[in-house]
Amino acid sequence: MKKYLIYIIILGTLLPISSYAAGISGYHIDKNINLIPNDPKGNKKVILITIDDGPSKYGRDMVATLERHKAKAIFFINGIHDKNNLGNIAFQANAGFAIGNHTWSHINLKKEKNLEKINKEINDDSKLIKTLTGASPKFFRPPYGMSTQYVRDMVKKEGMISMNWSGAALDWEEKAQGKQTFIDNVTTTIHAGEILLIHEHKWTAMYLDDLLKILEVQGYTFLDPREITQ
């Protein structure tokens, strides 16, 4: 007897509906910014890869690397960069990756007192993402990890999940441009449920494959962001 699967389109990628349903109630973010399985028996040894400050010319290479490892990620983009990297956001979305809101121009939301400017930074980024991908962003990350209650309330009202990070490659530091430092920055503190922060930098794109290989050997699974419920 032939078996038939029903498919739905998510972020431009065909997926079995059974797979999507299975992950829809998978994980939540706790107060320590770690991912916890909603099912107490669920896999705890997961990592969520998050990639900030794109789009950039390195984004497509990072997508290719992630695909080789069957790893998903959230690309948190700044709309201001799109004009110099046309097509990259849609490319990432069509490859099945989540596109997150990181504000239009990466301002420090905690220092900004003009609420209209804050609204515009967030709303303009969301509008661009929806225009280019066909879907509003599900995730929001404040630049520098700095937020306020006003921002958190606004983001929640817009239907997005605020997300900081609980581990980082520190790839904004000059010394992390060296491969071993980059790798060590991640592996010395890696832990189950970590939300890992990296960026669309040249050196990050170069070292990403080696980093993912090491994490796989250590037994980690890369979480699909669609499994995050709150």
Q: Tens digit of pLDDT for each residue in 55-100?
A: 999 999 999 999 999 999 999 999 999 999 999 999 999 999 999 9
Residue 129 lies in a domain: yes
* Nearest residue to 118 (alpha-carbon basis) of 100, 138, 135, 142: 142
Q: How many CB atoms lie within 10 A of CB 36?
A: 17
Q: Which of 1-5, 41-45, 175-179, 185-189 has the lowest mean pLDDT?
A: 1-5
Residue 8 lies in a domain: no
- Is 107 in contact with 121 (CB distance < 8 Å)? yes
What does the pLDDT average to over 150-156? 98
CATH of the domain at 32: 3.20.20.370
Q: Which domain holds residue 171?
A: 25-227
Residue 124 lies in a domain: yes
User: Which residue reads 């301002």 in tokens?
Assistant: 107
Q: How confident is the model over 180-192, as pLDDT tens digits?
A: 999 999 999 999 9
End-to-end distance of the chain based on CA atoms, in angstroms?
40
How much is the pLDDT for 200?
98
Interstrand relation of 27-29 and 35-37 (parallel, antiparallel or unpaired) = antiparallel
- Is 126 in contact with 137 (CB distance < 8 Å)? yes
Using 50, 70 and 90 to split pLDDT, how confident is the model at 199? very high
- Total of domains in the chain: 1
Residue 14 lies in a domain: no
Residue 5 lies in a domain: no
Residue 19 lies in a domain: no
Residue 17 lies in a domain: no
Cα gap 127→152, rounded to integer Å: 18
